[in-house]
C-alpha cells in the first residue's frame, strides 16, 4: 500500500501552499484518475493519519473521481470508457489504447477556513 506516502505528499504540498499564502485549510480538493494506481478508500483513510499532528489535522480530503477517457481512432474523438477492463470505444467497439484522462493525481483546490 503506497496510499499513506501519497497522502503525506498531499498534506505536505497543501501545507506548503497554505503557509506561503498565510491561510488555513478546511479541505483539500483532489482529482483522482481511475488509472492513477491509487485506491480512493485507502487514500481517504491514509489522509486522516497523515494529517495527525499537522496544521491540517481535522481537515477533509474531497476526491473527484476522473473516469478513463480514450481517443477512438474510428470515431476520431475522445470517448469515456465504460469499464477499465475493456479498452474499446463504448460506441463502435474499436480498440482504443490512447489514454487522454484517467491518470490524474492532482490537487485542484484548497478550501479555506473562514
Contacted entry of other proteins, Zn ion, none for residue 44, CB cut-off 5 to 8 Å set by kind: none
By CB under 8 A, residue 54 contacts other proteins:
no
67 binds other proteins (CB under 8 A): no
HEC letters along the chain: CCHHHHHHHHHHHHHHHHHHHCCCEEEEEEEEECCCCCCHHHHHHHHHHHHCCCCCCCCEEEEEEECCEEEECCCCEEEECCCCCCCECCCCCCECCCEEECCCEEEEEEEECC
85-104: contacts with other proteins (CB under 8 A): 85-88, 95-97, 99
23 binds other proteins, rule: CB under 8 A? yes
In the bound complex, which residue of the shown chain has the CB atom lying closest to Zn ion?
Answer: 89
Residues that bind Zn ion (CB under 5 A): 72, 74-75, 89, 91-92, 94
Amino acid at each position: 500500500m503506497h496510499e499513506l506516502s501519497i497522502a503525506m505528499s498531499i498534506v505536505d504540498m497543501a501545507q506548503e501552499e497554505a503557509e506561503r499564502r498565510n491561510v488555513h485549510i478546511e479541505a483539500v480538493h483532489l482529482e483522482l484518475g481511475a488509472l492513477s494506481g491509487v485506491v480512493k478508500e485507502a487514500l481517504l483513510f491514509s489522509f486522516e493519519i497523515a494529517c495527525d499532528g499537522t496544521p491540517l489535522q481535522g481537515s477533509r480530503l474531497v476526491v473527484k473521481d476522473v473516469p478513463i477517457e480514450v481517443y477512438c481512432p474510428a470515431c476520431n474523438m475522445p470517448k469515456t470508457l465504460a469499464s477499465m477492463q475493456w479498452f474499446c470505444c463504448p460506441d463502435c467497439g474499436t480498440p482504443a489504447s490512447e489514454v487522454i484522462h484517467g491518470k490524474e493525481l492532482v490537487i485542484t483546490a484548497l478550501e479555506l477556513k473562514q
